[in-house]
Amino acid sequence: MDDRRMWDWLVQELTEGTEVVVQPGGVGDPVTYQAADRVEVLPEDKGIRIISFHGHGLSPAMTLHMTPARWARHLRETVEDGVEAFGTRNEGGIVEAFALFLVHLEEAVEGRRPGEDHVVLTRNGLDPLRTPPHLL
């Protein structure tokens, strides 16, 4: 899957509030994650602003600072982490990497402190920031 298709997949999942069911490596019951309910793609695809997540409005909105190329690279870099976390390998592990991202996104939204309205991708998930990053 190329970078643009991965970006479109993310935007579609986030804008439609699609549910993703993952099996936690055979340990415990399946877990269902629902992506954001309402988002906006920033101009020139420089990120995604999450306005509503799991049916709850975010005030202020949270912005994921990333480009389609950075997003696709992140998914590819976290394939093995996703496969290890969920114990499956679908589409080469990209599906599991995506599911792991959704877990990290949920943690970032639920755990954000006041003023942490900007988020960047890291090797270990997502890092909240109080100010937008200058470079992607």
DSSP bridge partners of 50: 39, 62
Task: Report yes or no: 18 and 37 within 8 Å, Cβ to Cβ.
Answer: no
In this prediction, residue 22 carries a pLDDT of 61
Sequence letter at residue 10? L
pLDDT in tens, 58-113: 999 999 999 999 999 999 999 999 999 999 999 999 999 999 999 999 899 989 99
User: Has residue 135 got a pLDDT over 50?
Assistant: no
Sequence letter at residue 21? V
pLDDT in tens, 27-56: 667 666 555 568 889 888 899 999 888 778
* pTM of the predicted model as reported, rounded to 2 decimal places: 0.80
Q: Could you say which DSSP state residue 81 is in?
A: H
